Amino acid sequence: MTVLIADDDADDRMLLEQAMRQNGYDKQIKFVEDGEQLMEYMRREGRFTEQTAPWPSLLILDLNMPRKNGFQALTEIKADPALRRLPIVVMTTSSTDEDVIRSYNLGVNSFITKPFSFNRMVEMIGALKTYWMDTVKLP
């Protein structure tokens, strides 16, 4: 099981990985830094090949990224029959009702507001891991 994290903030990527490892996730974690890289990864274009870009079982997606934001990438993923079954968890600093509603309307599976403390991040990632990686059957 590979988890793909799309987030432009290097600190957030590091904290997410640390929180996952503290929760016992010992499988592969891949990172992309913006929506353009995300779509290249998903389509295995450019530097991303089947060897360097294993198909993710889960995508953790930030909304606020350069070049192509999370909404734009989400729209492309859900419009593509080859990609649309990928479970997507939006994890962003936003907590506005507009962003939540828009995300769900575009087909996101879960919407989480990034916590401000690392301890809360570890708790949240633990719950996310229990549900998405240990409980549900993924395509």
pLDDT, tens digit, 9 for 90 and up, residues 115-138: 889 999 999 999 999 999 889 887
Alpha-carbon distance 18 to 20, whole Å? 5
pLDDT at residue 51, as a whole number: 82
Q: How many domains, in total, are found in the chain?
A: 1
Whether residue 139 is contained in a domain is answered as no
DSSP-derived 3-state class of residue 135: helix
Check whether 139 has a pLDDT greater than 80. Answer: no
Distances (CA, A) of 19 to 57, 68, 109: 18, 26, 21
Per-residue model confidence (pLDDT) at position 134 = 86
pLDDT band at 84 (very low <50, low <70, confident <90, very high): very high
| CA atoms in the 13 A half-sphere facing the CB of 21 | 8
Give the pLDDT confidence of 3-55 residue by residue, as tens digits: 999 999 999 999 999 999 999 999 999 999 999 999 999 999 989 988 889 99
pLDDT given for residue 15 in this prediction: 93
Sign of CA dihedral 8, 10, 13, 16: negative
Q: What is the pLDDT of residue 99?
A: 94
Please measure the distance between the N-terminal and C-terminal CA atoms of the chain and give it in whole angstroms: 11
Q: Are residues 73 and 6 in contact, defined by beta-carbon separation less than 8 angstroms? A: yes
Strand 110-113 relative to strand 88-92, pairing = parallel
Q: What is the CATH number of the domain that holds 87?
A: 3.40.50.2300
- Give, in order, the Cα–Cα distances in Å from 30 to each of 10, 26, 98: 13, 12, 29
Burial 20-56 (b: 16+ CB within 10 A, else e): beebebeeebbbbbbbbbbbbbbeeeeebeeeebeeb
Give me the pLDDT at residue 137, please. 85
Mean pLDDT of the residues in the chain: 93
Answer yes or no: pTM beyond 0.85. Answer: yes
User: Whole domain around residue 14: which residue ranges?
Assistant: 3-134
